[in-house]
């Protein structure tokens, strides 16, 4: 990869300085306000505007796994991977209208608190511990490693560990300022992310246009992509047959056509956006109208994200298939690696713009790391430490307790990022071999069905019991592991419930999004069956009324615009 020029370094340093000084200004300003120290640090209670909430949601969501992992899947599969982004826009409408009123009316600040309030202490503790492990060993590690791979690919692979440490330190500095600093610096981060992302794809398309003799024209370049790789512009993949190639089968295993919309795709998005501390935390300190506007604004931004994070992968595929990017697509072992697609495209950018693109990448990575670190600190401090390790004395009450909670949160954040660096120093978790985006989706998907079943039944069915929640969580994990590891050996590769296909290693595999769908289905059956044996109305059930779910004309207009764009996209690329 080409080295950076002075202008690239200047552009990057300007970005770094603006984020740092703006974050410090926000930090100094918030210290003068009267919000309690702990609520300000963990929730930025009442101080984030709707546009800050929406921008922060996107900045925290779009990270290395999208820029690198989704671009890699764009290279391999094509536009079908955009389903994760576009269905997210629809999921955010559901979250804004139906989930947020339940959270805010019941003053829910953390997801374990929801489980304790609705079920019991046991469910809350189990999930608090699990979320901490998931956030540290799946999310933090993958974001940090993929981000370091991408940036070091541009400045030199020998800088991998230096970049990793730099990203860790930068994100930790922002995290120490608390959620308000994270929320408002995320506005800058998402602006840099979008500007840099669009600039990158614009130049990528002009390069494609020039390569195929249609001129340095982005629109002509996009049309060329559609002509050169028509299969990469189909949202719905066809189910493989005996005549299908191994490549077609491997694509279907990741994104199993129309079936995924009836199974795991909904669980992935509704669980991620609605039952995830990392995401919901941004809106839980706001009033309902502000929270809804912020979430819907994020949904609108999600519609354009595939252009930034997926389309470069298709451009890299077309260029590579036609003799370009031969060295750029190789990893350290000398083999073609789909996760190299985004950094391969960046290598062609002119001086100055390359610095902006690295700033955009850094913005996405740092925003996600900072948000994740704050969520880890929030869950540990509020749901574990203050309940089970805090000494109940007068000295721990009042302002002393507030400062202690913030200090504990900062220590937890530092410890978490240090663990992530240690585990990804030599990629101990094997993220690189699996493909970054698939790694996150699959391992998160092991418990997503059980967690989502607990939340959806807990919110909207008053009969759901704590015992059903515990059994449901275990059932979801057992079922998905059964389908992944044992079902094919016991029932064969073709049943009424699934079709398994031979993967590239020669073993039969069921698409993991199908596994998630059946895991959710059987978990719901078990939870409903157990709850029917209990009281007709659980004493801990939430009080719901129709007024909670009414939306203002402004909110309704935002929903309609999002739906119209979404329908148009699917009609175009079906």
Residue range 457-484, pLDDT digits in tens: 999 999 999 999 999 989 998 999 999 8
Tokens representing 476 are 């979801």
**Collapsing DSSP states into helix, strand and coil, what is residue 331?**
coil
Banded model confidence at residue 1, pLDDT cuts 50, 70, 90: very low
d(CA 5, CA 25) in angstroms, rounded, equals: 31
Q: Is residue 29 scored above 80 in pLDDT?
A: no
Determine the Cα–Cα distance for residues 220 and 121; give it in Å rounded to an integer. 59
And the tokens for 396? Answer: 């721990």
3-state secondary structure of 502: strand
Could you give the C-alpha distances from 449 to 127, 181, 200, 310, in angstroms and in order? 13, 33, 36, 26
Q: What percent of the chain has pLDDT over 90?
A: 27
Model confidence over 353-402: pLDDT tens digits? 778 777 877 877 887 788 788 888 888 888 888 877 775 544 445 556 66
pLDDT in tens, 59-85: 777 776 677 778 888 888 889 999 989
Local confidence band at 87 (pLDDT 50, 70, 90 cut-offs) = very high
- Scanning 156-274, the segments in alpha helix (DSSP H) are 160-176, 179-211, 218-228, 246-254, 264-274
Beta carbons of 150 and 361 less than 8 angstroms apart: yes
**Angle at which helices 512-532 and 448-460 cross, to 10°:** 40
Residue 34 has a pLDDT of 45
Which band of pLDDT confidence, cut at 50, 70 and 90, is reported for residue 42? Answer: low
Give the pLDDT band (50/70/90) at residue 441. Answer: low
* 199-222 mean pLDDT: 86
Rounded to whole angstroms, the Cα distance separating 545 from 258 reads 35
The pLDDT of residue 452 is 93
Residues 6+ apart with CB under 8 A from 342: 67, 68, 71, 72, 150, 309, 312, 313, 316
Gap between the Cα atoms of 522 and 158, Å rounded? 48
Maximum separation of any 2 CA atoms in the chain, in Å: 77
477-505: b (≥16 Cβ within 10 Å) or e: bebbeebbeebbeeeeeeeeebbbbeeee
Which of 291-300, 335-344, 436-445 has maximum average pLDDT?
Answer: 291-300
Q: Please state, in angstroms and rounded to a whole number, the distance separating the CA atoms of residues 220 and 199.
A: 16
* Cβ-based neighbours of 70, under 8 Å, separated by 6 or more: 81, 84, 85, 306, 309, 310, 313, 437
> Cα 191 from chain centroid?
18
Tell whether the torsion through CA atoms of 333, 336, 341 and 347 is positive or negative: positive
Tens of pLDDT along 232-256? 999 999 998 888 898 899 889 988 9
Count CB atoms within 10 A of the CB of residue 444. Answer: 19
176-188 average pLDDT score: 67
Query: What is the band of 21 on the pLDDT scale with cuts at 50, 70, 90?
Result: confident
Q: What is the mean pLDDT of residues 425-431?
A: 71
CA atoms 24, 30, 36, 41: torsion sign: negative
- Separation CA 26–CA 28 (nearest Å): 6
Handedness of CA 75, 79, 81, 86 (dihedral sign): positive
Rounded (10°) angle between helices 83-94 and 553-573? 160
**Whether the Cβ atoms of residue 38 and residue 406 lie closer than 8 Å to each other:** yes
Q: Are 285 and 47 in contact (CB under 8 A)?
A: yes
Tell me the C-alpha distance between 443 and 481, whole Å: 11
Provide the Cα torsion 117, 122, 126, 129; round to 10°: 80
* Average pLDDT estimate for 175-199: 73
Report how far residue 334's alpha carbon sits from residue 240's, in angstroms, rounded to the nearest whole number. 30
pTM of structure: 0.83
What rounded mean pLDDT belongs to the chain? Answer: 83
Give, in order, the Cα–Cα distances in Å from 23 to each of 18, 282, 547: 8, 17, 38
Q: Summarize pLDDT for 252-295 with one digit per residue, the tens.
A: 998 898 988 988 889 989 988 888 876 777 777 778 999 999 99
Judged by DSSP in three states, 336 sits in: strand
Fold of domain 6-235+249-444+544-573: Sodium/glucose cotransporter (1.20.1730)
Which single residue is written with the structure tokens 């354009």? Answer: 304
User: 412, 381 in Cβ contact below 8 A?
Assistant: yes
Residue 431 has pLDDT above 80, yes or no: no
For 271, the token pair is 């669980």
- Residue 333 structure tokens: 């072992």
Band of residue 489 on the pLDDT scale cut at 50, 70, 90:
very high
């Amino acid at each position: 990869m080409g080295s950076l020029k002075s202008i690239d370094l200047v552009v990057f340093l300007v970005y770094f300085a603006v984020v740092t000084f703006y974050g410090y200004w926000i930090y100094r300003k918030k210290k003068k306000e009267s919000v309690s120290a702990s609520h300000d640090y963990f929730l930025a209670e009442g101080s984030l505007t709707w546009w800050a909430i929406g921008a922060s949601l996107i900045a925290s969501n779009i990270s290395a796994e999208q820029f690198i992992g989704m671009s890699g899947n764009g290279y391999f599969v094509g536009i079908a991977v955009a389903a994760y982004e576009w269905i997210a826009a629809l999921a955010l409408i559901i979250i804004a209208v139906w989930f947020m009123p339940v959270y805010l009316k019941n003053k829910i600040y953390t997801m374990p608190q929801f489980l304790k309030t609705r079920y019991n202490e046991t469910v809350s503790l189990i999930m608090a511990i699990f979320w901490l492990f998931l956030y540290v060993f799946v999310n933090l590690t993958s974001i940090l490693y993929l981000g370091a791979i991408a940036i070091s690919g541009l400045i030199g692979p020998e800088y991998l560990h230096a970049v990793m440490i730099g990203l860790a330190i930068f994100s930790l500095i922002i995290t120490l300022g608390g959620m308000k600093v994270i929320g408002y610096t995320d506005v800058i981060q998402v602006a840099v992310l979008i500007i840099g992302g669009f600039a990158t794809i614009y130049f990528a398309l002009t390069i494609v246009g020039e390569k195929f003799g249609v001129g340095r024209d982005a629109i002509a370049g996009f049309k060329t992509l559609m002509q050169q790789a028509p299969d990469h512009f189909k949202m719905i993949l066809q189910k493989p047959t005996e005549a299908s190639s191994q490549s077609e089968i491997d694509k279907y295993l990741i994104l199993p056509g129309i079936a995924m919309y009836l199974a795991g795709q909904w669980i992935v998005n509704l669980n991620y956006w609605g039952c995830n501390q990392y995401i919901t935390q941004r809106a839980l300190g706001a009033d309902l109208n502000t929270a809804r506007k912020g979430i819907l604004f994020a949904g609108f931004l999600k519609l354009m994200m595939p252009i930034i994070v997926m389309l470069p992968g298709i451009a890299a595929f077309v260029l590579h298939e036609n003799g370009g990017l031969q060295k750029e697509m190789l990893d350290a072992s000398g083999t073609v690696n789909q996760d190299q697609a985004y950094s391969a495209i960046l290598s062609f950018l002119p001086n100055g713009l390359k610095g902006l693109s690295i700033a955009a990448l850094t913005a996405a990575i740092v925003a996600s790391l900072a948000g994740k670190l704050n969520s880890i600190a929030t869950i540990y401090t509020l749901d574990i430490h203050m309940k089970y390790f805090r000494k109940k004395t007068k000295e721990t009450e009042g302002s002393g307790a507030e400062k202690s909670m913030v200090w504990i949160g900062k220590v937890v954040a530092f410890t978490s990022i240090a663990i992530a660096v240690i585990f990804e120093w030599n990629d101990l978790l094997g993220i690189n071999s699996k493909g970054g985006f698939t790694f996150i989706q699959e391992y998160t998907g092991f418990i997503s069905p059980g967690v989502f079943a607990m939340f959806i039944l807990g919110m909207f069915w008053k009969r759901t019991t704590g015992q059903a929640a515990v059994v449901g969580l275990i059932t979801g994990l057992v079922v998905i592991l059964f389908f992944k590891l044992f079902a094919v050996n016991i029932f064969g590769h073709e049943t009424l419930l699934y079709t398994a296909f031979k993967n590239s290693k020669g073993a039969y595999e069921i698409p993991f999004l199908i596994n998630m769908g059946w895991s959710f289905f059987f978990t719901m059956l078990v939870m409903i069956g157990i709850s029917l044996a209990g009281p007709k109305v659980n004493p801990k059930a939430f009080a719901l009324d129709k007024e909670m779910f009414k939306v203002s004309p402004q909110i309704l207009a935002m929903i309609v615009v999002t739906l119209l764009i979404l329908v148009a996209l699917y009609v175009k690329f079906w």
